[in-house]
């Protein structure tokens, strides 16, 4: 029984029914649990989205990786409108690393739409294992893709045709990992061999290079124009130089004891208006026969029995001179088919009587007298091709006679490389007093014989002492696949989010991407920098890869979104397209991309929201191995 | 006495409830949006993968231009009077005898019949001062060698195989096809019996250019004249060219027959025998039917990847254009997709390594269907 209250009244029993609801603490816990669950679900969604975006970028990277390798291996090796020959290898950039058969060197151009990302941006980007930082530290670079150029087409063409749609590929960057192979020399700076000539043909005559010094006795022409003259290359050069044969120049033009002009030039061009005559053609043929006599090549070489099949074998005399001899005979003989009929040339098959070619004495040597027939001309023509082909195939390191235009072969290019383990060559830089250049020495798989002189510098013998140590030659060495293997690594990063994404200067441009004129008499280095006409359609491997969308003036003071078409260097039709040429500060700033570039090619100045002080993290997208050849190849 | 919530408790409860509901609502919204975005991305990625696979398939098998399993999609096998298209069977073009085919297969460097005996400096308006090279190599084995003014005489020519072989592929397959079949170092010219004709402007040249008017030497004008059907307008070169020079800043193409309205045979023949401007010197519209835009119209025929896809799916189309530029054989694929929400079109363009035209022809049987590797396919005699 309940006890009474102190007041005497019985204690009232109050049954308080406690309702067991959630306490505030429990509610809070519950909400926290719910919140965590919801947030977790929310957090998983971005992760899922990232996976999808990653998948997108992996697809883009796969497509772009294949395109890079295709561009690298399937593009033609042609590099026109450059100067490749000089008296020393440091005088022209043709044989420098920027022109090498390496993927990043070949595809980093406006044409391919592959452009190095400015170092100021790429150094702010982190990646797994600091891979990007290590690549940059080793001298590599990140590259981005031009939004419009693709597939080897120039960007402004795409744009004009409505091809400049936005693309996610600009958020992809890539780098090439792994050291490149030491490549073969594609252009031998002393002499850009192979030289080609159509067979048959007369002695090679070429345009004279910028009044470069001529060898004593070189045959100069007033043709095609006195200010744009040519000279006979064959035979030019110091007589002491192996491969220089002064008699070749006589076949081009000479005079007999009576002062009568003989040779190809008087026949084909003459002085003044060209007026070829049959007599001129006969005298040209006499000169070709005279050359045979000078080289000790007798009738068994030039006028064998009528039924003799075309000559495929060489006599004991130097092969390159036999190639020249048959080349001239065939050319001069064919010239006479312009003037004489088949009947006059002995019919077909030819009889013993044809066109009598009398002997002539030139420089104390008498040419043989022969009966010229149709069949003999045909014999010479077939033999010229056969001997030239055999010579080109069997003697790739004999440079005494040119290779065959109609039959260009990879073996026309001898295997040459630089010797990285011998003391380099050095010497003064032309036009820059007190400045010296240095370069590795060349190596050849076999000794080059009859090297002659170059067309650009026929007065300058190629020194015999330039060559490196033969034991350092490696192009023919065995190799493991891993040695030829390099890797394309792709990352995704929104580098265009940076405030200064279009204001950063271009990635450093190697000086050897400057298309420099070779040494010129009386022209200083600054003059050499501006001497050549820079032609956009030909200079893919030169200049700043970012050139066409680079600014030629400062644009920092412009508002975000302001048009910047008026300050683009542009390409081809743009009046400012060559603002990057020359020695002036302004030109050098343009060449190096000092003022930034319209990197998304949208015609307005873009600034992203991210300040330069913030580092972005790149996500690794994919890796692709590719073969790194040592020779300049074109794959089909 | 029943004690209710205090105002404070009530407020806290309400606040917590609001927080809980808001959180859940936001979560659900975000979840819904994320699911939708993920779904869209997933769909886009799947379609992009399909489009990419389709493009790669086209590059490898050329089924976008010629479907061996569907006779209605073999427009590029047609021909007219010996002038064919890239997939015209060799037998239709007159074919070759076994010896010629064996020679072509070997193309031996020491075989004199495969050599070019032409004058590499043959100038179409020249006065023959360097002679008559037509006597050494010619389409005709026996011909009267003349130049319209003088006659050399009736000659039997020793070498005929190379010009005949070149004519077969140039006339038979068009410029792209010929470039695919001929060695990369080919000098594009030959000699034929002289056909005097007043030189017509290039616009008036007919598609039978290789068989048309010749210069005094007997070399078809098409091979020598600046701005001919074959020779582009770069550099005023009027002597024979190699492939790089022929395609410096311009292209030879394989034209896409799937256009609407369907191009007639004459148009297809024409498009395979002309160059189009496509370089830094190009203006998108200049040069009329040789312009970049004309080139793209003939090669850039997007194919809807999924024509029956729901309207809310992104629209994907693919196209692979094939052409030769600067000596490079390009198979350039473009994937385009348009967002059903924003209407924005995004593009992915890439070039790939794939089967050559010759390889594609050998994949196909003349009567339809696929050839096995041992068969000669469309090259069968």
How do residues A52-93 score in pLDDT, each as one tens digit?
A: 889 989 999 999 999 899 888 888 777 777 888 999 999 998
What's the residue count for chain A? 636
Q: Which of A281, A246, A288 is nearest to A266 (CA)?
A: A281
- From the list A76, A333, A378, the residue facing B328 with the nearest CB is A76
B155 forms beta bridges with B143
- Residue B132 in contact with residue A334, Cβ under 8 Å? yes
Tokens of A629: 């050849």
What's the residue count for chain B? 381
Block residue for tokens 């023919």: A476
Work out the angle at residue A308's Cα, subtended by the Cα atoms of residues A303 and A314, and round it to the nearest 5 degrees: 70
Tell me if A198 and B34 make a contact (CB, 8 A cut-off). no
Residue of A nearest to B38 (CA): A49
Consecutive H or E run containing A135: helix A131-137
> What is the DSSP secondary structure assignment for residue B28, as one 8-state letter?
H
How do strand B79-80 and strand A485-492 relate by DSSP bridges? Answer: unpaired
- From the list B49, B117, B152, the residue facing A381 with the nearest CB is B117
What ipTM was estimated for this complex? Answer: 0.91
Provide, as residue numbers in chain A, all residues whose Cβ is less than 8 Å from the Cβ of B155.
342, 348, 374
Tell me if A71 and B351 make a contact (CB, 8 A cut-off). yes
Residues in chain A where the model's pLDDT stays below 70? 1-21, 149-167, 209-212, 224, 227-228, 271-274
The whole-angstrom separation of Cα B9 and Cα B13 is 6
Provide, as residue numbers in chain B, all residues whose Cβ is less than 8 Å from the Cβ of A393.
109
Q: What is the pLDDT of residue B207?
A: 66
Q: Long-range contacts for B61-66 (Cβ within 8 Å, ≥24 apart)?
A: B61/B355, B61/B360, B61/B363, B62/B355, B62/B357, B62/B360, B62/B363, B64/B256, B64/B258, B64/B303, B64/B319, B64/B320, B65/B254, B65/B256, B65/B257, B65/B258, B65/B322, B66/B360, B66/B364
CA B250 to chain A, closest CA, distance in angstroms equals 11
- Residue B367 in contact with residue B77, Cβ under 8 Å? no
The whole-angstrom separation of Cα A431 and Cα A90 is 13
The whole-angstrom separation of Cα B65 and Cα B57 is 12
B220 forms beta bridges with B214
- Mutate: best of B218, B280, B320, partner A, most A CBs <10 A: B280
Tokens of A618: 């790149």
Helices (H), chain B: 7-61, 98-106, 161-181, 221-224, 243-246, 265-271, 292-299, 357-362
Q: Is A547 on the interface with B (CB under 8 A)?
A: no
Tell me if B326 and A48 make a contact (CB, 8 A cut-off). no
Please state the pTM of the whole predicted model.
Answer: 0.91
Tell me if B332 and A150 make a contact (CB, 8 A cut-off). yes
Residue of A nearest to B122 (CA): A198
- From the list A28, A152, A338, the residue facing B129 with the nearest CB is A338
Q: How far is CA A194 from the centre of its chain?
A: 16
Contact map slice: A 394-423 vs B, CB within 8 A: 405-409
How do strand A616-617 and strand A125-126 relate by DSSP bridges? Answer: parallel
CA B198 to chain A, closest CA, distance in angstroms equals 22
Residue of A nearest to B107 (CA): A407
User: pLDDT tens-digit profile of A254-303?
Assistant: 999 899 999 999 999 875 445 899 999 999 999 999 999 999 999 999 99
Please report the beta strands in B234-287, taking only residues with DSSP state E, as ranges in sequence order: 250-254, 276-277
Contact map slice: A 120-159 vs B, CB within 8 A: 150-154, 156-157
Count helices and strands in chain B by DSSP H and E runs: 8, 10
Residue of A nearest to B296 (CA): A161
Residue A235: cis peptide before it, omega within 30 degrees of 0: no
Q: Which of A397, A412, A458 is nearest to A195 (CA)?
A: A412
Q: Which of A321, A323, A329 is nearest to A304 (CA)?
A: A329
Q: What is the pLDDT of residue B281?
A: 61
The three-class DSSP label of residue B97 is: coil
DSSP string for residues in A311-378: P-S--SS-HHHHHHHHHHHHHHHHHGGGTS-TTTTTTTTT-S--EEE---EETTEEPPPEEE-HHHHH
B345 forms beta bridges with B338
Tell me if B121 and A201 make a contact (CB, 8 A cut-off). yes
Q: What is the pLDDT of residue A30?
A: 84
Tell me if A45 and B38 make a contact (CB, 8 A cut-off). yes
How do strand A416-419 and strand B345-351 relate by DSSP bridges? Answer: unpaired
- From the list A156, A165, A408, the residue facing B346 with the nearest CB is A165
Provide, as residue numbers in chain B, all residues whose Cβ is less than 8 Å from the Cβ of A536.
280
Provide, as residue numbers in chain B, all residues whose Cβ is less than 8 Å from the Cβ of A63.
52, 348, 350, 352
Cα A287 to Cα A267, A281, A484, B119, B150, distances in angstroms = 11, 10, 52, 20, 27
Consecutive H or E run containing B144: strand B142-146
The whole-angstrom separation of Cα B300 and Cα B322 is 9
Tell me if B281 and A405 make a contact (CB, 8 A cut-off). no
Provide, as residue numbers in chain B, all residues whose Cβ is less than 8 Å from the Cβ of A166.
344, 346-347
Contact map slice: A 220-279 vs B, CB within 8 A: 267-268, 274, 276
Block residue for tokens 């026996």: B142
Tell me if B349 and A150 make a contact (CB, 8 A cut-off). yes
- From the list A71, A335, A406, the residue facing B130 with the nearest CB is A335
Tell me if A407 and B115 make a contact (CB, 8 A cut-off). yes
Tell me if B42 and A310 make a contact (CB, 8 A cut-off). no
Work out the angle at residue A27's Cα, subtended by the Cα atoms of residues A26 and A29, and round it to the nearest 5 degrees: 65
The whole-angstrom separation of Cα A562 and Cα A548 is 19
Q: What is the pLDDT of residue A2?
A: 47
Provide, as residue numbers in chain A, all residues whose Cβ is less than 8 Å from the Cβ of B187.
405-406
Written as tens digits, the pLDDT of chain B (381 aa) is 556 678 888 888 788 888 878 877 887 787 788 888 888 888 989 999 999 999 999 999 999 999 999 999 999 999 998 899 999 999 998 877 888 989 998 999 899 999 999 999 998 888 899 999 999 999 999 999 999 999 999 999 999 999 999 999 999 999 999 999 999 999 999 999 998 766 666 556 666 667 788 889 999 988 988 888 899 888 788 899 999 999 988 999 999 998 888 899 999 999 999 999 887 665 667 777 888 888 988 998 888 888 888 988 999 999 999 999 889 999 989 888 888 888 888 888 888 889 999 999 999 999 999 999 889 999 998
Tell me if A338 and B19 make a contact (CB, 8 A cut-off). no
Phi and psi angles of residue B204, each rounded to the nearest 5 degrees, phi first = -95, 0
Q: What is the pLDDT of residue A481?
A: 87
Q: Is A76 on the interface with B (CB under 8 A)?
A: yes
CA A421 to chain B, closest CA, distance in angstroms equals 37
- Residue B62 in contact with residue B352, Cβ under 8 Å? no
- Mutate: best of A342, A349, A413, A573, partner B, most B CBs <10 A: A342
The whole-angstrom separation of Cα B326 and Cα B302 is 25
How do strand B276-277 and strand B303-304 relate by DSSP bridges? Answer: unpaired
- Mutate: best of B31, B46, B129, partner A, most A CBs <10 A: B129
Provide, as residue numbers in chain A, all residues whose Cβ is less than 8 Å from the Cβ of B330.
74, 151-152
Tokens of A624: 């692709």
Q: Is A305 on the interface with B (CB under 8 A)?
A: no
Provide, as residue numbers in chain B, all residues whose Cβ is less than 8 Å from the Cβ of A153.
278, 325
Residue of B nearest to A46 (CA): B34
Residue of A nearest to B295 (CA): A161
């Amino acid at each position: 029984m309940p006890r009474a209250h102190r007041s005497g009244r019985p204690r009232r029993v109050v049954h308080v029914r406690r309702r067991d609801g959630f306490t505030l603490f429990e509610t809070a816990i519950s909400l926290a649990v719910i919140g965590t669950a919801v947030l977790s679900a929310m957090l998983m969604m971005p992760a899922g989205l990232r996976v999808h975006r990653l998948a997108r970028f992996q697809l883009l990277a796969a497509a772009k990786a294949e395109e890079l390798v295709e561009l690298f291996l399937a593009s033609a090796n042609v590099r026109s409108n450059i100067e490749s020959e000089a008296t020393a290898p440091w005088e022209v950039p043709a044989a420098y690393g920027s022109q090498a058969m390496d993927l990043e060197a070949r595809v980093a151009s406006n044409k391919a739409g592959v452009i190095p990302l400015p170092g100021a941006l790429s150094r702010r980007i982190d990646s797994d294992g600091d891979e990007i930082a290590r690549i940059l530290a080793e001298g590599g670079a990140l590259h981005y893709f031009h939004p419009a150029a693709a597939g080897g087409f120039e960007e402004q063409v795409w744009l004009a045709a409505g091809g400049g749609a936005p693309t996610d590929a600009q958020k992809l960057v890539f780098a090439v990992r792994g050291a490149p192979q030491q490549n073969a020399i594609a252009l031998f700076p002393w002499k850009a061999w192979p030289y080609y000539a159509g067979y048959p043909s007369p002695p090679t005559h070429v345009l004279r290079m910028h009044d470069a010094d001529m060898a004593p006795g070189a045959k100069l022409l007033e043709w095609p124009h006195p200010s744009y003259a040519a000279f006979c290359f064959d035979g030019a050069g110091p007589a002491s130089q192996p491969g220089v044969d002064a008699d070749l120049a006589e076949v081009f033009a000479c005079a007999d004891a009576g002062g009568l002009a003989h040779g190809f030039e008087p026949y084909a061009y003459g002085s003044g208006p060209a007026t070829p005559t049959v007599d001129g053609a006969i005298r040209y043929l006499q000169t070709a026969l005279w050359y045979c006599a000078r080289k000790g090549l007798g009738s068994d070489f030039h006028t064998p029995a009528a039924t003799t099949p075309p000559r495929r074998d060489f006599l004991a005399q130097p092969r390159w001179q036999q190639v020249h001899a048959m080349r001239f005979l065939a050319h001069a003989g064919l010239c006479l088919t312009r003037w004489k009929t088949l009947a006059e040339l002995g019919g077909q098959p030819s009889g013993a009587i044809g066109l009598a070619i009398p002997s002539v004495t030139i420089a104390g040597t008498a040419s043989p007298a022969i009966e010229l027939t149709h069949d003999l001309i045909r014999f010479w023509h077939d033999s010229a091709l056969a001997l030239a082909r055999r010579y080109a195939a069997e003697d790739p390191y004999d440079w005494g006679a040119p290779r065959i235009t109609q039959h260009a072969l990879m073996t026309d290019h001898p295997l040459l490389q630089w010797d990285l383990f011998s003391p380099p060559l050095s010497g003064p830089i032309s036009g820059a007093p007190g400045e010296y250049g240095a370069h590795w020495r060349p190596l050849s798989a076999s000794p080059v014989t009859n090297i002659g002189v170059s067309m650009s510098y026929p007065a300058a013998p190629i020194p015999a002492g330039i060559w490196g140590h033969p034991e350092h030659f490696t192009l023919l060495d065995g190799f493991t696949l891993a040695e030829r293997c390099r890797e394309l690594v792709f990352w995704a990063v929104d580098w265009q989010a940076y405030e200064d994404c279009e204001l950063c200067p271009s990635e450093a441009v190697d000086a050897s991407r400057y298309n420099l004129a070779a040494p010129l008499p009386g022209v200083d280095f600054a003059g050499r920098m501006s001497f050549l006409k820079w032609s956009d359609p030909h200079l893919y491997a030169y200049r700043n890869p970012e050139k066409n969308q680079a600014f030629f003036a400062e644009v920092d003071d412009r508002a975000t979104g302001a048009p910047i078409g008026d300050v683009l260097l542009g390409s081809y039709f743009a009046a400012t397209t060559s603002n990057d040429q020359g020695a002036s500060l302004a030109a050098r700033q343009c060449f190096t991309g000092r003022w930034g570039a319209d990197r998304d090619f949208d015609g307005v100045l873009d600034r992203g929201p991210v300040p330069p002080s913030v580092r972005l993290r790149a996500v690794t997208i994919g890796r692709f191995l590719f073969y790194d050849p040592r020779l300049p190849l074109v794959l089909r | 006495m029943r004690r209710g919530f205090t105002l404070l408790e009530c407020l806290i409860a309400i606040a917590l409830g609001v927080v809980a509901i808001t959180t859940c609502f936001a979560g659900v919204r975000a979840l819904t949006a994320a699911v939708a975005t993920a779904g869209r991305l997933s769909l886009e990625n799947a379609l992009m993968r399909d489009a990419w696979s389709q493009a790669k398939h086209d590059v490898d098998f050329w089924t976008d231009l010629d479907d061996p399993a569907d006779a209605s999609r073999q427009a590029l096998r047609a021909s007219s009077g010996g002038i064919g298209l890239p997939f015209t069977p060799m037998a239709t073009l007159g074919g070759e005898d076994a010896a010629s085919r064996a020679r072509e297969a070997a193309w031996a460097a020491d075989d004199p019949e495969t050599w070019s005996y032409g004058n590499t400096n043959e100038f179409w308006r020249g006065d023959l001062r360097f002679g008559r090279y037509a006597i050494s190599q010619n389409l005709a084995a026996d011909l009267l060698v003349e130049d319209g003014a003088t006659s050399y005489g009736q000659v039997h020519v020793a070498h005929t195989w190379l010009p005949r072989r070149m004519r077969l592929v140039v006339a038979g397959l068009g410029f792209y096809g010929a470039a695919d079949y001929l060695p990369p170092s080919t000098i594009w010219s030959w000699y034929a019996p002289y056909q005097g004709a007043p030189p017509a402007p290039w616009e008036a040249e007919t598609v039978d250019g290789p068989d048309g008017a010749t210069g005094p030497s007997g070399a078809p004008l098409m091979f020598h004249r600046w701005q001919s059907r074959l020779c582009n307008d770069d550099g005023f070169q009027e002597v024979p060219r190699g492939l790089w020079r022929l395609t410096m800043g311009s292209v030879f193409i394989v034209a896409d027959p799937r256009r609407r309205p369907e191009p007639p045979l004459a148009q297809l023949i024409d498009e395979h025998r002309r160059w189009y401007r496509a370089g830094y010197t190009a203006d998108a519209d200049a040069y009329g039917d040789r312009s970049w835009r004309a080139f793209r119209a003939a090669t850039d025929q997007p194919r809807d990847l999924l024509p029956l896809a729901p309207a809310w799916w992104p629209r994907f189309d693919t196209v692979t254009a094939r052409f030769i530029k600067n000596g490079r054989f390009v198979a350039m694929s473009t994937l385009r997709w348009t967002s059903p929400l924003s209407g924005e079109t995004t593009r992915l363009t890439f070039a790939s390594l794939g089967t050559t035209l010759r390889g594609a022809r050998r994949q196909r049987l003349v009567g339809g269907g696929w050839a096995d590797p041992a068969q000669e396919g469309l090259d069968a005699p």
